[in-house]
Amino acid sequence: MNFLPYSNGVRKVSMKKHRSPKEKFKIVVITIVAILIIGIVTQNIVDFIDGERLKKRVNYTTVDELRMDYRIEGEGSYTIIFDGDIGTTLEEWTSIVEELKENDSIRTFVYNRQGYGYSDISSSGRTPEEQARDLKILLRKAGLSGPYIIVGEGYGSLVLTSFAEQFKDSVAAAIMIDPINEEVIQTKEYKQSQILTKIRRSIEKIGSKCGLTMLLDKLNLDINLEDYESGLLDKNKDEFLTLRTKSKYTTAVYNELKNILNGISHSQVDGIFSDIPYYLLTRDENDPLKSLGSEELTDVHVTSCEKDYLPLNDKDNVLLAIRQTVKKLQEIETANKANNKK
């Protein structure tokens, strides 16, 4: 009797199909595309639901056929124009505006630059010079004539110094709050310090189109503006936390950060505020930006607040800056009227 070789042994048989490198690559690509499609669909659904859920408590008009949000409060002889830092919305000024409306005879104007809040955004982005021109058009469409008291914080200071440079006759007084220094942001050291931030903002910009930024936000891995979020009124916080993962917002933040790092703002010219009251609220008692005004019309106050976003976290000093500037304007007007009667 002949036995079959190995007939009494146990043999392992692989049931897995052998795949070529080309087939494996194809599977990976299909998986990635499927994840992206699911992310894009999810993002669009969430955006639609959030758009229906959130209440748009702002007025708006169009500038170059793009929506821009704004809000006007109060009545008075002076109109104050507020412009906030990179990543912030008009709600940064809400507590300041409510205080002025209740206790001062002042009209206030807050707005959202392109991409913030519910404002639309152009595909090419805007430089501070172009943003200043957008603001001028917005003010005209909102029915507010100058001259204005301009109040700019951080990145908003770049927009408003450009506004003063282009429309000098429209500015009666200027208040700069913790302003960005154009010379500092053009240094190699500053640009190197922002490399990681730029990469992260770029990821958030791309990821906001396919749900990745929402996921990063849930995992607390995105860039959080902690001092800003903690200072917002509760009624405004939910709106900001929802909108900050949207494509318009992440694109606006990235574009403005790119403006800073590319050093394209050149409006901080010595003496640009020389003929008007100028108030500088700063962290540096030797801040070189005090040279933007003339010595006799310039006030400098050094804040001890260690948090960012001073309109939220150093409210008393911001209100003091506004009230002292208004008082100085009134004194100048009174003196001019007296001189004209002579």
What integer pLDDT is reported at residue 278 of this predicted model? Answer: 98
Cα–Cα nearest to 178, from 81, 322, 307? 307
Which amino acid is present at 108? T
Average pLDDT by consecutive 10-residue portion of the chain (342 residues)?
Answer: 50 61 69 67 61 70 96 94 97 96 95 96 93 98 94 98 97 98 95 96 93 89 92 89 93 97 94 96 95 96 96 97 96 84 69
Q: What angle do CA 159, 239, 175 make, to 5 degrees?
A: 25
What integer pLDDT is reported at residue 255 of this predicted model? Answer: 97
What integer pLDDT is reported at residue 54 of this predicted model? Answer: 57
Tokens 């507590």 sit on residue: 95
Tokens 């006799």 sit on residue: 296
Residues 6+ apart with CB under 8 A from 84: 90, 92, 93, 153, 154, 155, 156, 311
Q: Is 190 helix (H, G, I), strand (E, B) or coil?
A: helix
Starting at the edge strand found earlier in the chain, the sheet holding 171-177 runs: 59-63, 66-73, 106-111, 78-83, 148-153, 171-177, 278-282, 298-302
Contact assessment for residue 118 and residue 47, using Cβ atoms and an 8 Å cutoff: no
d(CA 209, CA 42): 10
Structural domains of the chain, ranges and CATH numbers in brackets: 59-341 (3.40.50.1820)
pTM value is: 0.87
What integer pLDDT is reported at residue 43 of this predicted model? Answer: 64
Contact assessment for residue 191 and residue 261, using Cβ atoms and an 8 Å cutoff: yes
